[in-house]
Structure 1
Amino acid sequence: MNQITPIRAFDRADQQGRRRKSAVKRIAPIILVPAALAALAVGFRLGQEGWPLPAWVPAPVASVIGGSAPTPTGPIAYYRDPTGKPFYAAAPKKTEDGRDYRPVPVGEDVSFEEKPKDTAAEGSAGAGGKRILYYRNPMGLPDTSPVPKKDSMGMDYLPVYEGEAEDGSTVKISPGRLQRTGVRSEIVERRVVTRPVRVPGTIKLDERRIAVISLRSEGFVEKVENVTTGDRVRMGQSLFRLYSPEIAAASAQYLSVVNEGGSTGIRPLVLEGARRRLENLNVPPEVISEIERTRKVPTTITWSAPREGVVLERNAIEGARAMPGDVLFRIADISTLWVLADVPEHDLGAVRPGQTVTIRLRSLPGQVFQGKIGLIYPQLNPETRTARVRIEIANPSGLLLPDMYADVEVATGADKPVVAVPDSALIDTGTRQVVIIDKGEGRFEPREVKVGDRGAGFVEIRDGVVQGDQVVVSANFLIDAESNLKAALQSMAASTEEKAQ
């Protein structure tokens, strides 16, 4: 067994002593630094409150605590009390205990950031001395709280101040929120509201301007003039010559009556009957006048064009036999044409006779023609759910031809200016139509309206707003949701009060 010698024991004791001293050196800063900081904080608090500093506070620390700060650079705005009291001076000054006022440089006391309000310290009093009624959910949920609260995501509930709930429909929004949400308003004006209805159409002949040349008795075509299909003819222009035994016999009888009337004084009734027979055979009036003038029965009769127009059909052939009812010529006046357009059922209420119509032809790009609605046919196509509209259009230059395709644009709406708002100002839920009225100073009121015609980015307002009102045209859905939430919360609060009573 080994024994410890005195020398070795002394060495061991000496080593243990050195270790203790080293440990004390390491622990001392940990203990002394917090103590020094605590003493400095106490001294700073005493200095700020105006109490005299203890003698044990070092001079450099006392100068900082007492308010002596490094001289600032730049212009000085004013000087303030070093203890933090609301005392200010325009020039350097000292306190009663001899300390210098602290200089405040220009711009150092200006802050553009909005400081958060201590709602917990305010209690039931808000900004401007207004009493807080309750706190509502920041996400718009129908949840309220009588005290400050946070939702599940850590967002603070929003206070509702006294006076903001006086009108259940009016919403008040701070200027900062207005700028962030992009709310924009416009003044209500009177304007012409038109909505174009664009439909396809087809050009057709005017049924009232078509003439057909046919016989009422058997005859033979002796000669046909140099007139073919597509030619333009004048009114009274000769078309063909015809021999008809029946017309010749009636002409001879009429001439006999005319000749006898001059010598025997035959009664006018007989003369009228003989003339009526020729007219019933469709003999032209100029042929009857020629018989009276020449006192001769013509072998053939010249048939002329009854109107000016274009020859659409020619069936007369020289030497051919023509039976009663046969169409020898078909002539149409194309100076005025029709455009038949099919208007969908949902647009039919906006179309009425007399409205101006713009017509563009696919075969004539760049040219625009004007017309007017003459008739809306009283019948709906059950397959296409469209109604046919007849439009009259002038064709003096003859550019329009039957059966051309056309693009028809009907300018629907009022001809006179009406009260109208932009389309974006109207909130249409299907059961109600609402606009948001801007009352100024961040106050907004949802108001139900009655709408009329729409078009060109505007909608007619027949009841609810007047000229000069300001309506919200941007972010109005957010304000409407805010108003609905407010009304719901007030309704809940009212029902809660009733139950409590």
Structure 2
Amino acid sequence: MRTVSAVIAAAALIASAGGGFIMVRGQHQGGEAPRLALVTPAAAQANDAPIYYQDPDGKSLYSPTPKKTPDGRDYVAVRAAAEEASAPDAIPAGTADRKIKYYRNPMGLPDTSPTPKKDSMGMDYIPVYEGEDSDDGSVRLSPGKIQRTGVKSEPAARRVIHTMIRAPGTVQLDERRISVISMRAESWVQKVADVTTGARVGKGQPLMEIYSPSVASAAAEYIATITSKGTSGVAAFGRGSRQRLMNLDVPDAAIAAMEKNGIVPISIEWSAPRNGIVLERNAIEGMRAQPGDVLFRVADTSVVWALIDVAERDLGALAVGQLVVVRARSFPARTFTGTISVIYPQVNRETRTARVRIELTNPDLALLPDMYVDADIDIGSPQPVLAVPESAVLDTGSRQAVFVDKGQGRFEPRDVKLGHRGDGHVEIREGLVEGDPVVVSANFLIDAESNLKAALKGFSEAGGQP
């Protein structure tokens, strides 16, 4: 069974190269079995016998004998005359006037001959004419091979390339918009307003009432100085007393009320220093507060930060002031626009990312702290640049090249220097000019053909053959 399969595969290769086979049935000592005899196209054409059978849908499925598809359709018989007529790589007209330089192995092996010959399977060596292996490095393909392999070209043109950097991150509070309310002297909390953690407060909104012996003493001293008229040095002493109240962080509204009424208040009303949300409430009615104890913490969320982690390889394309579009995973239909304000000067050793800060306006307070976001940073140039499709570039890592279509089946490999990538295109900084047609499809097959011809040429030169 393996032998028959191997013969069928070899026969299909021979048929595609211009050879053929016919089925010869006969007797042999092991019983009846079909025998395959390889014949030349001329013999098959003289007998008008099929050289093989092919799948009716044109697939690469062959059989040396009549066969049916799984759905019951007959395989199509391919005869020698039809094979030669449909061969796309047949020698074109006019080649009779050209000089044959040498003959190469039909299976692509590094073997050439100065005279016509056959290989071990009976296949004719393929003639190579003058000009087909030019020294300019170009590759020449027949029209049939170009059509069969699907080679397509597209001119290099100028276009705007949008190169996007996408990175995840989280929303954080603006450190400059957080206020802490704490006492600067020993105090007691007399009353706390109906404000809890997470509540939104406005600037000047009462939060609590505080009694402090130090504040009461400074207030009594200040009122005594401003109500005593005619005493020498009263003005200077009054300024000192007022400054003492300010040093104790007494609100300006409370000091103004003392100056107006001339009464020493028992408790002082403390209010919110800014608009925002209450992040922390530690004040409890009747509690004793030591200097420095945090009683309230309020943050303004009208402007927030998006801290995103950008890969190390993309840091060179970032700059302060670049526009960034941020999408919150909680609001997939909305976009928030901001700018890069800070690129932190440190790379995470484990993730190889650097942190970038983006300032975002949050007018409707939809963005909340620690919310996940995704940032899109456009690092492409707004000016059109020379570009080709990414499929046109053959990248080996150390070398990038494209094939330029020179016409009449000739393709010239050309080294290029690349720039930004995006939208399926890549910028060409050196190697091409606007309008150069480059191969965008099947260029790997052309590259393989180029390597094959280079190997054949080197083998010929080393062997002293044409």
Give the TM-score, by structure 2 length. Answer: 0.72
2:408 maps to 441
Aligned equivalents of 1:150, 1:469: Cα separation in 2:
41
2:417 matches 1:450: yes
| Alignment coverage as a number of residue pairs | 383
Cα distance between partner residues in 2 of 1:330 and 1:405? 24
Question: Contact between 2:88 and 2:145, CA under 8 Å: does it hold in 1?
Answer: no
In structure 1, distance between residues paired with 2:340 and 2:117? 67
Deviates more, 1:347-356 or 1:467-476: 347-356
In the alignment, is residue 473 of structure 1 matched against residue 431 of structure 2?
no
Aligned to 1:436, the other structure's residue is in SS state strand
Contact 1:335 1:395 in 2 (8 A): yes
- Contact 2:89 2:145 (C-alpha < 8 Å) held by counterparts: no
2:356 equivalent in structure 1: 389
Secondary structure in structure 1 of the residue aligned to 2:264: coil
Q: Which residue of 2 aligns with 1:215?
A: 183
| Contact 1:168 1:486 (C-alpha < 8 Å) held by counterparts | no
In structure 2, how many angstroms separate the alpha carbons of the residues matched to 1:374 and 1:306? 26
Residues 396-419 of structure 1 deviation map (CA, whole Å, 9 limit, x = unaligned): 112222222334444443343322
Question: Are the structure 2 counterparts of residues 439 and 256 from structure 1 closer, same or farther at C-alpha, using a change threshold of 3 Å?
Answer: farther
Matches within 5 A, 1:82-481: 127=95, 129-258=97-226, 264=232, 272-481=239-448
Looking at structure 2, the residues matched to 486 and 231 of structure 1 have their Cα atoms a distance apart, in angstroms, of 78
User: Counterparts of 1:188 and 1:250 in 2: how far apart (Å)?
Assistant: 81
Q: 1:265 to 1:171 in 2, by over 3 A?
A: same
Q: 1:262 & 1:148 partners in 2: Cα distance? A: 132
State the identity as a percent: 58
What are the Cα deviations for residues 180-234 of structure 1, in whole angstroms up to 9, with x where unaligned?
Answer: 1110011212223234444432222222211111111111122222222222211
SS at match of 1:288: helix
Quick one: which amino acid aligns to residue 431 of structure 1? Answer: S
Give the letter for the 2:344 counterpart. Answer: Y
**Aligned-partner SS, 1:283:** coil
SS at match of 1:306: coil
8 A contact 1:237–1:305 mirrored in 2: yes
Q: Give how far 1:177 is off.
A: 1.8
Give the TM-score normalised by the residue count of structure 1.
0.67
Give the partner amino acid of 1:135.
Y
Q: In the aligned structure 1, how far is the partner of 2:105 from the partner of 2:347?
A: 55
Deviation at 1:302, TM superposition (A): 1.8
* Alignment deviations for residues 35-81 of structure 1 (CA, whole Å, 9 cap, x no partner): xxxxxxxxxxxxxxxxxxxxxxxxxxxxxxxxxxxxxxxxxxxxxxx
How far 1:473 moved relative to its partner?
A: 0.7
Query: Does structure 2 conserve the Cα–Cα contact (< 8 Å) formed by 1:436 and 1:472?
Result: yes
Distance change (3 Å), C-alpha of 1:158 and 1:354: farther
For the Cα contact (< 8 Å) 1:358–1:409, is it kept in 2? yes
Structure 1 position 307, deviation (Å): 0.8
Per the TM alignment, residue 451 of structure 1 is displaced from its structure 2 partner at its CA by 1.4
Q: Which runs of 5+ in 1 are unaligned?
A: 1-110
CA contact (8 A) 1:261 1:267 kept: no
Question: What amino acid maps onto 1:470 in structure 2?
Answer: P
- Bigger share in helix: 1
Alpha-carbon separation, structure 1, partners of 2:312 and 2:324: 18
How far apart are the structure 1 equivalents of 2:459 and 2:417?
29
SS across alignment from 2:265:
coil
Q: Give 1:167 deviation, angstroms.
A: 3.9
Letter in 2 for 1:243: Y
Q: How far apart in 2 are the matches of 1:296 and 1:326?
A: 28
Counterpart Cα distance in 2 of 1:117 and 1:225: 96
Please say which of residues 252-261 and 179-188 is displaced more in the overlay: 252-261
Q: Secondary structure at the match of 2:185?
A: coil
SS of match in other structure, 2:269: strand
Q: CA RMSD in A?
A: 3.3
Q: Determine which structure has the larger strand proportion and give its number.
A: 2
Deviates more, 1:355-364 or 1:274-283: 355-364
2:243 alignment partner, SS class: helix
Matches within 5 A, 1:476-491: 476-490=443-457
- State the AA in 2 paired with 1:246: S
Q: Flag the 1:279–1:146 CA change in 2: closer, same or farther, 3 A.
A: farther
What is the CA-CA distance between 1:355 and the residue it aligns to?
Answer: 3.9
2:232 alignment partner AA: T
**AA aligned opposite 2:294:** V
Deviation string, structure 1 residues 303-343 (Cα, Å, up to 9, x no partner): 12111111122222222211111111111111122222333
Residue pair 2:392, 2:441 contacting (<8 A) in 1 also? yes
Pair 1:393–1:138, CA change in 2 (3 A): farther
> Residue 436 of structure 1: CA displacement?
0.9
CA deviation profile, 1:226-275 (whole Å, cap 9, x unmatched): 2222222111222222111112222333445545687536675x555444
- 1:337–1:154 CA distance, 2 compared to 1 (3 A): farther
For structure 2, the residue ranges without an aligned partner over 5 or more in a row are 1-83
Question: SS at the partner of 1:264?
Answer: coil
> By how many angstroms is 1:179 displaced?
0.7
Return closer, same or farther for 1:244/1:418 CA change in 2, 3 Å cut-off: same
Paired amino acid for 1:326? D
CA distances 1:283-314 after superposition (whole Å, capped 9, x unpaired):
22333334444444333222121111111222
1:18 counterpart residue number? none
AA in 2 matched with 1:208: R
Aligned CA distance change for structure 1 residues 488 and 353 (closer, same or farther; 3 Å): farther
Distance 1:241 1:114 in 2: 99
Q: Secondary structure at the match of 2:250?
A: coil
CA distance in structure 2 between the aligned counterparts of 1:263 and 1:150, rounded to whole angstroms = 130
Measure, in 2, the Cα distance between the counterparts of 1:296 and 1:161.
115
